[in-house]
Amino acid sequence: MSINIYYDAEEIKQIVIVGELAVKEEIMKLLELIKGKQEKVHITFFDANMLPKDIIKELYDFQKKNCCKIYVLKSYLYSYLYKLGIYCHYIARKFIDSPETIGRKLEEIKPLIEEEIAIFLKEVHLQYGYDFTKYQIQSIIRRVKICMIKENIKDFRRFKEMVLTNEDLFEELFITFSINTTEFFRDPEVFQTIREEILPYLNRFAYIKIWCAGCSTGQEPYSLAIILDELAMLDKAQIYATDINPYVIEEAKNGLYPIHVFEKAMENYKKTRGNKTFADYVKLRQDYMEIDERLKKSILFFHHSLVGSGMLNEFQLILCRNVLIYMQNDLQKKVLKILYYSLDRGGVLVLGKSEGILCNEGSDFFYKIKKDSKIFKCKER
């Protein structure tokens, strides 16, 4: 990472950051350059897909003083900053479309052939090491089309050639493949069961290990931490929160979320029968909210692939919700076996409401413990 500083012809200070900001000394250096300053500054991030929380908060305050313009080259960083109320200029921007426009353009793309997509996924695996060959093909096709729209490429063969020769384009495709919908206390009836039945059952353990597999941007593990706190169990619990996408992991670590999710989070929290209010666990700003630092102490976020990185073990509770739904049955079976051997004896597995253990031989490993739910226990080994 390098930070280059110069003044342009209009005497505007230009700060150009090349590379990811990952080292504490680098973060402190950039903070010193912008914190409390009144002069006009233009900041350009060339390669960064994510920024640390302290930088983001300072950029937000700095921009409110109307003396800062921000330029980014990575679409993920652009989208992240924009939803937090930090307005950027996206250099070489190809598109910023609404969901309705994307939907219309999806219909305009020539139908993709499943066999060609399957070959493409094998080539991606060989070239970059990420294996999506056992994922649901229709979900993959839709996400390939979305990436083609973003890049303004209508011909799949040309798109394929470019992905296999251009790491930046593959990165965009990888992000499109690996980002899934999430929210605080999603499916609140599940979290109500966790609050009222599962965690009281696990309270008999002196120490509780929980794994949130496919945690996305972190709302699920933070929701769990809130419930653990209210049950006076947070101090004896450790939540491991993992995802295949390293950028969503950094977003989760930051714990910053757009303000528009607050109302839905409040609503979901109430449905879990919490005894406080969701507002007790966040600091509200005009455009974003920040998770209480106290909750973060019991959560370890890290990059991990369910398929490629193998198992973690001795968990009393695993949440793997809305992950299996994107996989074919044979891959689901492999993942369920990993989850089974990652659980302690008597451990509990929670799946998404559209997932199950009937068609993927999951009944070899688990049995349902609550009718009309997707909550399971390990069979005896």
Report d(CA 53, CA 183) in Å as an integer.
Answer: 20
Report d(CA 247, CA 209) in Å as an integer.
Answer: 24
Total-model pTM: 0.89
pLDDT confidence of residue 19: 84
pLDDT confidence of residue 180: 76
Report d(CA 142, CA 12) in Å as an integer.
Answer: 44
Which one has a higher pLDDT value, 178 or 107? 178
Least confident of 17-26, 124-133, 362-371: 17-26
Q: Check pLDDT > 90 for residue 97.
A: no
pLDDT confidence of residue 311: 75
Question: pLDDT band at residue 289, thresholds of 50, 70 and 90?
Answer: very high
pLDDT confidence of residue 115: 94
Question: pLDDT band at residue 51, thresholds of 50, 70 and 90?
Answer: very high
Q: Which residue has the tokens 């619990």?
A: 237
What percent of the chain stands above pLDDT 90? 61
Which one has a higher pLDDT value, 135 or 1? 135
Least confident of 58-67, 245-254, 283-292: 58-67
Q: Check pLDDT > 80 for residue 266.
A: yes
Please check whether residue 58 is in contact with residue 34, taking contact to mean a CB–CB distance below 8 angstroms: yes
Report d(CA 375, CA 346) in Å as an integer.
Answer: 13
Question: pLDDT band at residue 92, thresholds of 50, 70 and 90?
Answer: low
How would you label 214-243 residue by residue, b for 16+ Cβ within 10 Å and e otherwise? Answer: bbbbbbbbbbbbbbbbbbebbeebebbbbb
Report d(CA 54, CA 27) in Å as an integer.
Answer: 8
pLDDT tens for 329-355 read 889 999 999 999 999 988 999 999 988
The per-residue pLDDT of the chain, averaged, comes to 89
CATH H-level, domain 188-378: superfamily: Vaccinia Virus protein VP39 (3.40.50.150)
Report which listed range, 110-119, 259-268, 357-366, is most confident.
Answer: 259-268
pLDDT tens for 64-78 read 876 788 999 888 999
Please check whether residue 256 is in contact with residue 84, taking contact to mean a CB–CB distance below 8 angstroms: yes
pLDDT confidence of residue 179: 74
Helix (H) or strand (E) holding 149: helix 137-150
Report d(CA 286, CA 267) in Å as an integer.
Answer: 20
